[in-house]
Amino acid sequence: MHMEKEFAENMPKLGFGLMRLPRIDENTIDVEQTKVMVDRFLAAGMKYFDTAYVYPGSEDAIREALVKRYPRESYYLATKLNSRVANTAEEAKAQFEESLRRTEAQYFDFYLLHAIGESTLPKYDEFKIWDFVKQLKAEGKIKHYGFSFHHTPEVLERLLTEHPDVEFVQLQINYADWEDPKVNSGILYDICRRHNKPIVVMEPVKGGTLANPPATVRKILNEANPDVSLASWAIRYVASKEGILVVLSGMSNVEQMEDNLSFMKEFKPLSEEEAKTIERCQKVFRSTDQIPCTACHYCTPGCPMQINIPEIFAAMNQNLVFGEPEKAKEMYAEVLGAGSGRASDCIGCLQCEGACPQKIEITSWLGKIAEYMGE
């Protein structure tokens, strides 16, 4: 059965993204807090949980907070295989068994080729992962397969033509990136619709940016409705589109979850008036020069200079987006104080740029930041 029909009635639109779970410290997920969030999420009628082999500690945490505590058929669990961290086909395929072992989930409802981009796609092809996921499905170890995508419209068109049995696509869609020439949310969405593929949305709040947007955007939204959260606009914007299977929100605490549930439990699409308000915000974003980092941290593990790239970008964005130079310098000093290499330590090895799904010219930005910070 086509997935859209299968889930038309029984897929609540909010998904729990497990990439930014609450933490006790940098390396330890707060499992007790995660349990509280899982309980609230399921009690509100939601079902979809999204983890990945490469989210540190996430698959183990969801075993404890969800799999061991609820009947398997009461939720959907998605995870992902990532060719970026595999050197051979065997290593890539072994990720599946490892994900099963960590989660103890018995099977996955949704299984994805993770973060298809310039550096990962050749390895998915070379390692024959397309055939591998088909085989997993035939064996009943996964129910549905798809991929998450950070590449060009041309490549998406080609992949959906070459692999017509792919069942869904996960795309980065949010109102700020809809017309962004690097992300191309709108064009990618149209391609999936043409190929009749349901869409799972990631980064609806753009790594938190749209929960804390530039002052001009905040003003537009607050004036339109002072009683709702800024994140609610972003999530409802994407959930209102046709063909969306589920919108993943990477919730980090109970408060964020309560807010998301407050408007997604009984979801109402944006009204015409509200859609116009978002169009005004999109205009503001088109005119703002910021670093489009979503803080996914894919770039950091391989940096030989231990540069905390996303935190440094967040500091610089404080100036670019919010016009707060003093705060930007203060944040930069804090990142360095916590052990990060300096922007000027970058040796230009380009490891990070190959790993960045947002195709950010990281080395060029680090150069500009080093200059701005007076290094």
Q: Which of 54, 116, 244, 309 binds ligand SF4 (CB under 6 A)?
A: 309
Q: Which of 201, 362, 369, 373 binds ligand SF4 (CB under 6 A)?
A: 362
Output 305 or 320, the one with its CB closest to ligand SF4: 305
Stretch that binds ligand SF4, among 22-30, 110-118, 195-203, 287-295 (CB under 6 A): 287-295
Counting contacts by CB under 6 A, is residue 368 touching ligand SF4? no
Burial 240-277 (b: 16+ CB within 10 A, else e): bbeebbbbbbbbbeeebbebbbebbeeeeebeeebeeb
Residue among 239, 218, 244 nearest 229 (CA)? 218
CA quadruple 289, 294, 297, 302: dihedral positive or negative?
Answer: negative
Distance CA(331)–CA(320), nearest Å, equals 13
Q: Which of 14, 200, 346, 373 binds ligand SF4 (CB under 6 A)?
A: 346
31 neighbors 69 (Cβ within 8 angstroms) = no
User: How many other CB atoms are found less than 10 A from the CB of residue 363?
Assistant: 16
List the x/- string, 288-307, binding to ligand SF4 by CB under 6 A.
-----xxxxxxx---xxx-x
Output 245 or 366, the one with its CB closest to ligand SF4: 366
The count of chain residues that interact with ligand SF4, using the rule CB under 6 A, is 27
Minimum separation from the CB atom of position 350 to ligand SF4 (A): 5
Stretch that binds ligand SF4, among 2-10, 278-286, 330-338, 360-368 (CB under 6 A): 360-368
Minimum separation from the CB atom of position 256 to ligand SF4 (A): 20
Stretch that binds ligand SF4, among 55-63, 81-89, 210-218, 361-369 (CB under 6 A): 361-369
173 neighbors 201 (Cβ within 8 angstroms) = yes
Total residue length of the chain: 375
Q: Which of 119, 152, 277, 351 binds ligand SF4 (CB under 6 A)?
A: 351
Distance CA(15)–CA(248), nearest Å, equals 4
| Residue 80 φ then ψ, to 5° | -140, 145
Residue among 284, 288, 184 nearest 233 (CA)? 284
Q: Which of 85, 92, 310, 318 binds ligand SF4 (CB under 6 A)?
A: 310
Minimum separation from the CB atom of position 295 to ligand SF4 (A): 5
Indicate the DSSP class of residue 364: H
Residues contributing to the site for ligand SF4 (CB under 6 A): 293-299, 303-305, 307, 309-310, 346-352, 355-356, 358, 360, 362-363, 366
